[in-house]
A and B are shown apart, each in its own frame.
Chain A
């Protein structure tokens, strides 16, 4: 990464214009970008690093009626400890508070968390060791015949088994959040559609500005990983009731946040029977391998426990 050039953008327009030149990458907190560059993951990595932290007005948490508006540069620590977030969308505070480690939460931003790159171990290997489809370097997914213990339990998408590693992503989808970029306003569900290496569908010269989070006072996030800190989720679930609907969204189970139909709890009936019924739907949809079958068990358990916790 010695051949990068670091730009300090003075405004979002300035940042976009640098990105439009190509080979660009946004640097928000920088934690994922740094590991991406140091890992020599792709043969042709970005060399124009655009620091957006000097742009004012991108770090805030404010209430606008029933919606929380959170600037993209707001740190995960701030979100996890914000009374507004804890009161209006507890699942988001929980998810932000479970990302990685305390130090990463002080540095990392919500915008960065939803733009990070996958964690599949083959993907994260050096470009000449495992040139995989997700990196655009072959038509292979090495996980299929290799280690897929941490990978998708709902099959491949675009020949890729990597999961969406973001803790906040399933929450944003569950509450029906909107993600405002320099180009448009996305529904979270449409935002988290994979495109190339990205876990979202924004353009190379598009920058996340703001997350708009509807009120979801009955919401919860549960995370499962082998370790209780530092680790990315192996399975996670966000359950949220917004208005008269409820969503159960699995994280780290597929390339994108994955919805499990939750009609039973739309009216707020968080009973054991309903929890069981919803959890059971995972079995029907799952396409597991011998190595990752356990994730179905974990997913069902988390779904049940999450729903019951809202009772």
Chain B
């Protein structure tokens, strides 16, 4: 489908690929752009002591030795928590998870505080804990609940958060009559380190009278503002939240308790500035988030590999996962039952990051399909091609159209570019010249990310007297997202990108309560808000233009005008024109607009389809999501178990590409991240106790430049028109990381064995184990 011509946005739009990330030069020249990059006079440093048990009551905390350390100012615990902090997630008396903060040491420098932390003595009354999903399952296959399992303590009478069933057709009948069925049990999992940004968690606060100023790397300034207010009762107008740059880790920069730690600590030292700063270890304990999932999948097919039934039992811990569209929206399956259950475990509650649930969920899915394909003597791509949902299919459960549906296009693209069909061979049958084993794998999915969500997004756009526009969306970070918003404003207004400004800091005082401004739903939702605000400005600018001599002389009305490259012109005679600067400087009234984002689910007149699609009208509610497909070729050294990614093809349905480089960066990141997840990330947990013992990068093993070959990663943005998104756009930050399973699938193709990835990535020792050599 042909996309409308855009002025600034779009893959093929000239000059779009020349746009540079805003404020990038500040980062390149070392300007202070993160929370810790400031030092106020009298500043103190706070470090937390973290619980070293999964679940316990603290019976005693003795800080006497810590208080003797010169430079230690105060030690705070649950008992010294003010009333307003008692329900907040800081300084627990009952430890809910390993690593929960239980004491706060405030000192004159960071190293003094760290030494003092280790001198605080804690007595625990250890309580039974549940730390794995299997701890609360009685029967692994049937996945029934173990009602005698200890309670996590998160929820008074149950370890179960929520559960949901999607039923489609009659799965039991279909399985009974299917020509072929197979049941696959799986338990892959993500590590805690996946969610670990390079900038460790920190926050700074100081009080001035009864007002408090907080610096926190935030992807939701107003969320922080509101949650701090809710926790403390400090009036909103006395609470000032600033977000400088954010050093990665979107998904974990929401409602952070470290902001509260800093506020609390500063109050306890008479308002002196306190920087609460996690060490790497503490960030890992406090901010890491592990995703533990267990599935039992039964697939039923006809003899030609056409899926007739899918029965999924899926159990996982915590946030955002459990009910995932990967299973239900990627392939056409007439009968499906999906039972997804989320649990409370004694585990960190931090938010998801980089689509934490997609990689393991994708793995369950890919693994099951590949096994079935093999049984039926089909290639892995064949079974997917046979069943994949098409461009114009509607959702099988809701009957709603998809705002964008490109998974088939993504799959076609990577299969074609990689030459998959000609390279594939039976598992374990191809040796390279150097003795290594060759393998190739494929994966595709449609997931829930990049969706439009959050009706409370708000952007202000102001036209300045010099004809430039200021875009205030509440956020500052990360910079390519800010750049995106500027491009949206430039597109709608008809400005050059250089004539659009955004602030460096997110500032709760200077923007409207507008929800999350960084993360997966940012492009669509905040983009929608920005678009609407910019539209209002455009209308006012054109009205002002019509009062200007240039246009009033030809009796122009606003609908007769258009704009491009910061120039307003008469559509029927473009030689009649004036610059934005000329119009704005002479406008009689200030020009500005406020836009609110929309939520596709609440069709409030602005949500749903923006353009008709497949016979559905504007405003019609839709299904959302993003599509992704990957092919990966690997070489496995059968003597050491080492895996090298030879080449990787990644295609993502991008909707309208707002910012070419931003999209390519995300896709490139996704393909590199998959290497981390598939081959390197690990948790080091003690076996008798289950405690986390490895908290440095040497254990978590993020890849170095020698562990991947980025020049051999091929990225294919599949640009389309998202009929729900502002200007056809939607976010793509997550889907590209979901394909790590195709690496595992490629390894299977290489060695003829599936590597056991329960509790870890495909490290060489696990590959050797699969090969029977360890």
Contact = CB atoms under 8 A, between A and B. Distances in A.
A touching B, CB within 8 angstroms? yes
B117 to A, nearest CB: 8
Contact of A1 (B111, B686, B687, B769): B111
B688 A146 contact: yes
Contacts of A230: 697-698, 704
A229 B706 contact: yes
A5 to B, nearest CB: 14
> B-side binding surface: helix, strand, loop or mixed?
loop
Contacts of A301: 639-640
B181 interface: no
Contacts of A231: 698, 701
A226 B706 contact: no
Contact of B115 (A40, A226, A229, A298): A40
B422 interface: no
Interface string B653-695: 0000000000000000000000000001000111110000110
B118 A128 contact: yes
Interface stretch (A63-71, A105-113, A118-126): A118-126
A149 B765 CA distance: 9
Which size bracket describes the interface of A in this complex? 35 or more
B118 A40 contact: yes
Given A1-B115, A294-B641, A301-B640, A121 B699 contact: yes
Interface string B627-651: 0000000000001110000000000
A145 interface: yes
A228 B707 contact: yes
Given A1-B111, A121-B684, A127 B698 contact: no
B639 A297 contact: yes
A165 to B, nearest CB: 10
Given A129-B52, A294-B765, A297-B768, A226 B694 contact: no
B693 A121 contact: yes
Nearest to B693: A121
A293 interface: yes
B684 A147 contact: yes
B707 to A, nearest CB: 5
Contact of B769 (A101, A294, A298): A294
A142 interface: yes
B392 interface: no
A38 B280 CA distance: 11
Nearest to A301: B639
Given A224-B640, A227-B701, A298-B640, A147 B111 contact: no
B686 A227 contact: no
A119 B765 CA distance: 19
Which size bracket describes the interface of B in this complex? 35 or more
Contact of B114 (A40, A129, A146, A295): A40
A268 B706 CA distance: 33
Given A2-B71, A229-B705, A146 B686 contact: yes
Contacts of B111: 1-2, 38
Given A226-B763, A294-B641, A301-B639, A2 B109 contact: yes
A226 B768 contact: no
A125 B707 CA distance: 27
Contact of B687 (A125, A145, A224, A232): A145
B751 to A, nearest CB: 14
A227 B698 CA distance: 9
Contacts of A124: 696
Given A119-B698, A231-B698, A226 B118 contact: no
A147 B759 CA distance: 13
Contacts of B115: 1-3, 40
A39 to B, nearest CB: 9
A293 B764 CA distance: 12
Contacts of B114: 38, 40
A128 B773 CA distance: 38
Interface in B265-280: none
A294 B111 CA distance: 39
B173 interface: no
Contacts of A294: 641, 764-765, 768-769, 773-774
B91 to A, nearest CB: 19
A218 B705 CA distance: 31
Contacts of A147: 684-687, 693-694
Given A127-B118, A147-B686, A232-B698, A227 B704 contact: yes
Nearest to B120: A128
A130 interface: yes
Contacts of A149: 765
A68 B641 CA distance: 37
Given A2-B111, A2-B112, A125-B693, A297 B118 contact: no
Contact of B686 (A119, A142, A224, A232): A142
Contacts of A227: 680, 701, 703-704, 706-707
Given A121-B699, A129-B52, A145-B688, A228 B768 contact: no
A226 B680 CA distance: 7
A145 B690 CA distance: 12
A297 B693 contact: no
Contacts of A122: 686, 693
A228 B694 contact: no
Given A2-B115, A229-B706, A297 B773 contact: yes
Interface in B695-718: 696-699, 701, 703-707
Nearest to B705: A229
A121 B694 contact: yes
Given A40-B118, A224-B640, A227-B680, A297 B774 contact: yes
18 contacts: A2-B109, A2-B115, A40-B115, A121-B693, A145-B688, A147-B686, A147-B693, A149-B765, A224-B640, A227-B703, A227-B704, A230-B698, A232-B698, A291-B765, A294-B641, A294-B765, A298-B768, A301-B639
Given A146-B686, A227-B680, A227-B706, 20 more contacts: A2-B69, A3-B115, A38-B114, A122-B693, A129-B693, A145-B688, A147-B684, A147-B693, A224-B764, A227-B704, A229-B706, A230-B697, A231-B698, A291-B765, A294-B641, A294-B764, A297-B641, A297-B774, A298-B640, A301-B640
Which 8 interchain pairs have the tightest Cβ spacing? A294-B774, A294-B765, A228-B706, A229-B704, A301-B639, A2-B112, A297-B773, A294-B768
